[in-house]
Amino acid sequence: MTIQQDIITKLGVKPTIDVDQEIDRRVNFLKEYVKQAGATGLLIAISGGVDSAVAVGLCKRATDELSQETGKEYMTLGVFQPYGEQDDIDHSYEVAEAFNLEHKVETNIAEAVDEITLETEYAFKVLKIHRHISRGGKGNVKARTRMVIQYSLAFDLNLLVVGTDHASEALTGFFTKWGDGAVDITPLSSLNKRQVRELARRLGVPSSVIDKAPTAGLWEGQTDEDELGVTYEDNSSYLEGKEIEPKVREILEKRYLSTQHKRQAIPGI
């Protein structure tokens, strides 16, 4: 078995999908887990990107169906989490409107992130390390702070926190461990980015969101593809078992091997 075949098997990606079947399968997956957990619904952070938009569509369909089937009210809570001013936050609200999301709230993480940053830099100073927190380090603080707020809301509202991680992100380890990689359930996990976009079109995600350059919003101007040095088209083709340029294959496999720890549970002895 080649490294590519091994990765595809572990991440569970299909070379082609039936979009309607995948939507139904993932909605049922969410519904069953909510019932098993005794939760009253789902919480999803809406970034304004296609991944969270698809997750919103699946979550809203799942909680609507549960409410109809049981006679009890189940909710999908959408959370907008800008750091200060977010240029594309209108896309987040556009997604909420597209899925008629009744429950939504905006929580700005700027003050909390800046305080954590100051405390970190104070610790550097005590250690006689005269430097500011790195750009990537502050990006991780943003991701983890967002999760703290999500879980604070979810705990008291008895909701499950939904993640947007999918196979194309898992392949490259492009998520913050215990940041956006710390959630209760991941309904997109065995899809690649191309397949996520297929679901987006069927669910009715606005085209302005589907077609925008993917970004984790970690710093101004940051995009996933620039950061990784690989397009999502090549990433998706790799996960579908197709041949891609040897140099691109090398980048993807190197990143996969170097980020194994992100995909593993906390190790013990």
Q: Which residues are tagged catalytic? A: 51, 169
Q: Where are the beta strands (DSSP E) in the chain?
A: 41-45, 75-80, 103-106, 159-162
For the CA atoms of 213, 216, 220, 223, the dihedral, rounded to the nearest 10 degrees, stands at -40
d(CA 211, CA 94): 14
Handedness of CA 215, 218, 220, 224 (dihedral sign): negative
Q: Edge-to-edge strand order for the sheet containing 41-45?
A: 103-106, 75-80, 41-45, 159-162
Cα-Cα end-to-end distance for the chain: 30
**Residue holding tokens 């976009």?**
197
For the CA atoms of 54, 182, 176, 227, the dihedral, rounded to the nearest 10 degrees, stands at -10
Cα–chain-centroid distance for residue 63? Answer: 19
Token pair of 136, please? 């990537």
Token pair of 33, please? 């887990």
Measuring CA to CA, which residue among 17, 2, 1, 3 is closest to residue 166? 17
Token pair of 166, please? 């999918």
